[in-house]
Structure 1
Amino acid sequence: MKITKIELKNFRAFYGEHTIDLGKKGRNLIIYGENGSGKSSLLKAIELFIDSHVRNIAFSQHRNFFVTDTDGGHVKISMRSTHLAPETTYEWSDITRETNAQVIIDASKTKGSLDYKSLLEIYFLHPKDSEVDLFSLLIKTILANSINSLTQKRFSEEWAEIEQKKVPHSRHTRKIQELEDALNNFNNGLASILNQLRDQALDILQYFGYPVTIDLQFQGVTVDRANKCLIGNKVVLCVKFLNTDFLLPHQFLNEAKLSAISLAIYLAALQVNPPSALKVLVLDDVLIGLDMSNRLPVITILKNLFNDFHIFLMTYDKEWYEILKRHFPSWKTLELYAGHGTDYEMPILVENKQYLDKAIEYLLTNDHKAAAIYLRTAFEVKLKWFCEKMNLPIKYKEDTKKIPLNEFWETILKGNFIDENLKTDMGISLSYIMNPLSHTQLAIAPTGEIQAAIDTVKRLEEALDAIVKPPTQQQKDIDKARCFLLANEHNLSAQYLRSAFELKIKWFCEKMSLRVKYKEPTNKIPLKDFWDAIITEHYIDASLQSEIQTYHSYIMNRLSYAQLAIAPTGEIQAAIDTVERLERVLDMIVNPGNAP
């Protein structure tokens, strides 16, 4: 069982509607997100969705701060048992709670959701009597859902029942015997699973290559009849490094070794937890502060030991993000950035769609706030990208986020890179682009003016792209398709459109080493084979696939001259726009650093 889609609406940082499509096969996900971008909110969406029924969590407690009650909201997660099986969608909201499905309840017992603070809990616990005692953390968190094979009860549940029992007076021998029998079952069951946990953790530790071993010492809980209490409820973490025992490892070992020990214990617990159809592992910057050599073993661990889990890796370290992308080329990647207005904020989610495409989507739903944020982001990213590519001098600030956006814009204007007409149009639209308007101002802003601003920024992007990246053959063909369409030469326009489409998808298949049915010579390979190779690997989202299918008669099928002569100009124009969108998407996948 794998998650195929995550839909968020007005959940924590996620104002408005956001969809993450993981494809029919349910691809694992690598997420890059700067601080404050909503990365942790995405982690919480997955975690709280899975736990919402078991822990009786109300959605209203996690609704986005900037929306009213009437805006509602939800987290929806879709999943499939295989890529050929039907998709099932479950919703968690104030109105609907479908998370009582057995597959989700089972997943709540096996999921792993770790961040850096989770690792700290192991080696920075307050030590008792010069020891690191993990009993409470193990019973209430790490092994909370593990089953005692002797009683078939969860350890957290069983221990809670034992704690509720009062230690009887010594005269009540029958009640004392009942309590001791319950403790014997608990002790024997816990000792058995601790041995499994230790062995699995030792296997994981070997991947890090440190001369470190651990043991989890548990003597068993017993009844202190004299003081009428329970004693021995402790599990001592014993660490041996270079054959030397360390009872307080955090005082002697470095952070890399401590993190490796903590991560090994947490991951080992996932191996001994009850089985379930859906196994989810979320790692949110668990390796923060470690150098790259100490992070790389985690990649091998995930590949070798957790290939049956649905994994979500989150980080704010761009270098680590790029390394993960290279090691897991089939995984989906996503970038989150913080977007701000004067009285609101929301994550900017960068997937296959460009910022301007997202701005248009929100404008069509009359969400001016979200449209303006994506519009400003598109403008900002393009200006910074252009200044970097052209080595333009910008007034220095230690924190680059503090450089005013106007500094980049004025630098470009001084260089005379754009014509006077575009400068004039940009000046008209700058109130929506450069100045973050308030929610109230945007609510009354004319839709036409925001649309005009989007069109102007698109023209600016094209102008700057043409300077940095000379037109490729595909771009030349697209330009010719547009020119012939303006001249009402539908036949020639369609020819160049098909040529641009063919060149781009063949180029992409070669760059990504995709497999197509071999024919010699290669020009006999049907165009559809290249297209099928791309969509089979889920490189593009469903909406773009649908648009290509809508206009396939102009793109892939060679219509007759007579058919093209009567074809609506608007349809051919829409087909050209769709192929252009496809080109941008494929460019971003092959060269993510060159296409903002």
Structure 2
Amino acid sequence: MNKLQIKDFKAFKDELVLGFSNKNFLLYGENGAGKSSIYEAIKVAFFRDKIVSTIPNAPTPEDQDQVNGDFWNKYNNKATNANFEIKLNEVKLPDFPTAEYQPFMMSLEDIFFEDKIRLVTLLEQFYFSISDIDSFSNEKYLDIQQDVNAALLSFKENIEIEIDNEDDFTIKIIDSNRNLESKADIKKYFNEGKLNLVILLLLFTSIKIAQNSSKKRILVLDDFITSLDASNRTFLIKYIFDNFSEFQILIFTHNVSFYNLIMYLINHIYKINAKWEFANLYEIDNNSKLYIKSSIERAANIKALYHSIGTPANTLSVEDIGNKIRQKFEVLLYEFSKLTMIGTVEDSKKILERIEISKNIYYKENKTASDLIDELDTVLDENNLNNLPNRLKTKIEQYKKADFGNLKKIISELKLYQKVTMHPMSHGTIGQSPFTTNEIEKSLELLEKFEKYLKVLVDGDVAMV
């Protein structure tokens, strides 16, 4: 996929444009910002027939028309109630040639099981391009079993599975260390993290085996890491990168730590940054706002554009530069708010207020304040009162950033130039310059410092620059 456009669809009243540029795509979205609406739009685009099959049958054709209309109306934006529009690569549905693609879509919200995990039932819950799941399971269950067990071994898990083809492809989970095995009531014997890992590996292995190299393969993952511990999250992302390099991968998450982990692996371990687009989605004043990072210029580039105004190669005005500065400042504020979990993002003014009243920020090597809370919980669960206050304080100090005051100074100075950074220059009075050269230069200098601070924060270097 190169481009997705959706309008009047669920959370999106105005048109939302996602430029994938035929690359992989990592999206961070606040809860309620519309991330799941994007996931649903892709599902409607590629799996319309499967969705239609879930529409209830009505007793008469007239009643069926009403049922069909009510069903599709639930996808419309409630504010406009206009019929939604979805375009892929500039082609409006249903004219897009979906047959050329082989998509697989996964969200843990789709998982449901009571006391057993059955392969066929599991695969049917998801939106996978497998034409005959029964035949696929019957032919490939041993390959799936072997691949899952190899992955569990590489994840250093002490469990393995067996798929019983004579019992509706029910999954037996075996823990030889505890001399335990079970196909039924598995929630009683195995924790949620292990069960979710088994389920995810069953799904990913099935995708790997079912893929058709003659088609354009797409893997869409929406908040699929519930209850996995940090080490298994790392193993799982590496497993995806290692096994699905021929797929276009779209990952949506509201988990800041998981987003940061993926960014770190892409940039520093696999060094495949050029194959990815990164985006943030926020809900501000009941409107969804999307920033694709490659479209947001670095402060140094904005400075170069400013200094080249008036040259034949640069047709921008000073007002254009002011808008770029304002947008860059806004994006940096959202990034900082996301990384440090200052609070729910509302608008740039609210973020500034939170920064001004905050005494400290807590962030450590791609871990956020929520990770700190998890670590404090672990210490408390140890039921060891020996030196407890100091042990808790040590954990807190590992996350506390002593240089936060320097960033607050940068942001306070930027606020002084809010005519440039927070408001478009075009809002100035006619005949009167709404800015000065010094304001622009100083704003750009401060933006570069802010940008550099965030870079070292993400990279795990706590030194202020």
- Aligned counterparts of 1:317 and 1:261: Cα–Cα separation in 2: 21
Q: Does the 8 Å contact 2:164/2:171 carry over to 1?
A: yes
What is the aligned-residue identity percentage? Answer: 16
- Aligned counterparts of 2:440 and 2:283: Cα–Cα separation in 1: 20
Deviations 1:228-273 (A, max 9, x none): xxxxxx3322110125313333222233322221111111221333
* 2:192 paired residue number: 255
Task: Please list, as runs of the form range in 1=range in 2, the aligned pairs for 1:271-350 lying within 5 A after superposition.
Answer: 271-273=208-210, 275=212, 277-328=215-266, 329-341=273-285, 344-350=286-292
* 1:46 paired residue number: 42
Unaligned 5+ runs, structure 2: 53-67, 267-272, 298-323, 358-407, 460-465
* 2:95 paired residue number: 98
- Aligned counterparts of 1:338 and 1:52: Cα–Cα separation in 2: 28
Is 1:238 aligned to 2:172, yes or no? yes
Tell me the C-alpha RMSD between the 2 structures. 4.9
Q: CA shift at 1:296, angstroms?
A: 1.3
- Aligned counterparts of 1:209 and 1:386: Cα–Cα separation in 2: 35
- Aligned counterparts of 1:22 and 1:269: Cα–Cα separation in 2: 26
SS across alignment from 1:14: coil
- Aligned counterparts of 2:120 and 2:220: Cα–Cα separation in 1: 23
SS across alignment from 1:16: coil
- Aligned counterparts of 1:398 and 1:387: Cα–Cα separation in 2: 5
- Aligned counterparts of 1:235 and 1:386: Cα–Cα separation in 2: 48
- Aligned counterparts of 2:355 and 2:233: Cα–Cα separation in 1: 39
- Aligned counterparts of 1:457 and 1:5: Cα–Cα separation in 2: 39
SS across alignment from 2:260: helix
Q: CA shift at 1:144, angstroms?
A: 7.7
* 2:19 paired residue number: 21
Deviations 1:292-325 (A, max 9, x none): 2111111331233212221112222333323322
- Aligned counterparts of 2:429 and 2:181: Cα–Cα separation in 1: 68
Tell me the TM-score normalized by structure 1. Answer: 0.48
Report the AA paired with residue 353 of structure 2: E
Tell me the TM-score normalized by structure 2. Answer: 0.60
- Aligned counterparts of 1:207 and 1:468: Cα–Cα separation in 2: 44
Q: CA shift at 1:277, angstroms?
A: 0.1
Flag the structure with more relative contact order, 1 or 2, with Cα contacts below 8 A and sequence separation at least 6. 2
Larger Rg: 1
Deviations 1:38-88 (A, max 9, x none): 22222222222111255449875423333353xx6532223xxxxxxxxxx
- Aligned counterparts of 1:39 and 1:592: Cα–Cα separation in 2: 25
Q: Does the 8 Å contact 2:119/2:171 carry over to 1?
A: no
Q: CA shift at 1:381, angstroms?
A: 5.4
Q: Does the 8 Å contact 2:120/2:133 carry over to 1?
A: no
1:268 to 1:255, Cα distance in 2 relative to 1, 3 A: same
* 1:466 paired residue number: 445
SS across alignment from 1:262: helix
Report the AA paired with residue 249 of structure 2: I
Report the AA paired with residue 140 of structure 1: E
- Aligned counterparts of 1:126 and 1:155: Cα–Cα separation in 2: 21
Task: Please list, as runs of the form range in 1=range in 2, the aligned pairs for 1:106-185 lying within 5 A after superposition.
Answer: 107=102, 111-118=103-110, 120-121=111-112, 125-127=113-115, 132=116, 134=118, 137-138=121-122, 140-141=124-125, 146=130, 154-155=132-133
Equivalent of residue 217 in structure 1, options 147, 151, 164: 164
- Aligned counterparts of 1:458 and 1:246: Cα–Cα separation in 2: 73
Report the AA paired with residue 445 of structure 2: A
- Aligned counterparts of 1:15 and 1:457: Cα–Cα separation in 2: 38
SS across alignment from 2:295: coil
Task: Please list, as runs of the form range in 1=range in 2, the aligned pairs for 1:421-432 lying within 5 A after superposition.
Answer: none
Unaligned 5+ runs, structure 1: 79-88, 148-153, 157-185, 221-233, 356-373, 389-396, 434-446, 472-583
- Aligned counterparts of 1:326 and 1:419: Cα–Cα separation in 2: 31
1:263 to 1:593, Cα distance in 2 relative to 1, 3 A: closer
Report the AA paired with residue 42 of structure 1: I
SS across alignment from 1:266: helix
1:284 to 1:458, Cα distance in 2 relative to 1, 3 A: farther
Deviations 1:13-33 (A, max 9, x none): 23323333333xx22112222
Deviations 1:467-493 (A, max 9, x none): 46479xxxxxxxxxxxxxxxxxxxxxx
- Aligned counterparts of 1:450 and 1:267: Cα–Cα separation in 2: 56
* 1:353 paired residue number: 295
Is 1:75 aligned to 2:86, yes or no? yes
Q: Does the 8 Å contact 1:215/1:239 carry over to 2?
A: yes
* 1:4 paired residue number: 2
Count of equivalent residues: 352
Q: Does the 8 Å contact 1:386/1:468 carry over to 2?
A: no
- Aligned counterparts of 1:308 and 1:321: Cα–Cα separation in 2: 21
Q: Does the 8 Å contact 1:256/1:294 carry over to 2?
A: no
Is 1:199 aligned to 2:146, yes or no? yes
SS across alignment from 1:11: coil
Q: CA shift at 1:405, angstroms?
A: 5.4
Report the AA paired with residue 5 of structure 2: E
- Aligned counterparts of 1:347 and 1:5: Cα–Cα separation in 2: 17
